[in-house]
Amino acid sequence: MCGMVGLARSGYYAWRGRGAPGGETADIELTEMFRLVHRRSRGTYGYPRVHAEQRGRQAVGRNRIARLVRAAGLSGCGPRRRVYTTRTDKDAAPAADLVERRFLAEAPDRLWLADITSVPTLEG
């Protein structure tokens, strides 16, 4: 086959005996380490946290880590979605201020205040 593509047989065997380049071997080792870190974090760490954890061990660039983590198919969890408890009705009139901004009561059990914006209901 070497003769068909115009290569010397000795060149083929020299190439086959060399093995993987040094950078490629290091990438494989780093990827396995990233998989371990990702597994230990229960799948929550993406490349920024992997980079932060790696920083103390070995000097590896952020972009290299991002490339290897992406190639390995690993991704972290983003921030949780914010829960909105109040949905403003633009057409509703504001509630009357029965206390008129005076929050001190003259006697016990005369003035009750509450904030019910985050009480769950069956209506959602």
Residue 70 — pLDDT band, cuts 50, 70, 90?
A: confident
DSSP-derived 3-state class of residue 9: helix
Query: What is the predicted pLDDT for the residue at 85?
Result: 67
| Res 115 pLDDT > 80 | no
Calpha distance 39→37 (Å, rounded): 5
Q: What is the mean pLDDT of the chain?
A: 80
CB atoms closer than 10 angstroms to residue 48: 13
Each residue of 11-35: pLDDT tens digit?
Answer: 888 887 776 666 677 788 888 888 8
Q: What percent of the chain has pLDDT over 70?
A: 90
Predicted TM-score (pTM) above 0.85: no
Are 70 and 84 contacting, i.e. CB atoms less than 8 angstroms apart?
no
Query: What is the predicted pLDDT for the residue at 117?
Result: 65
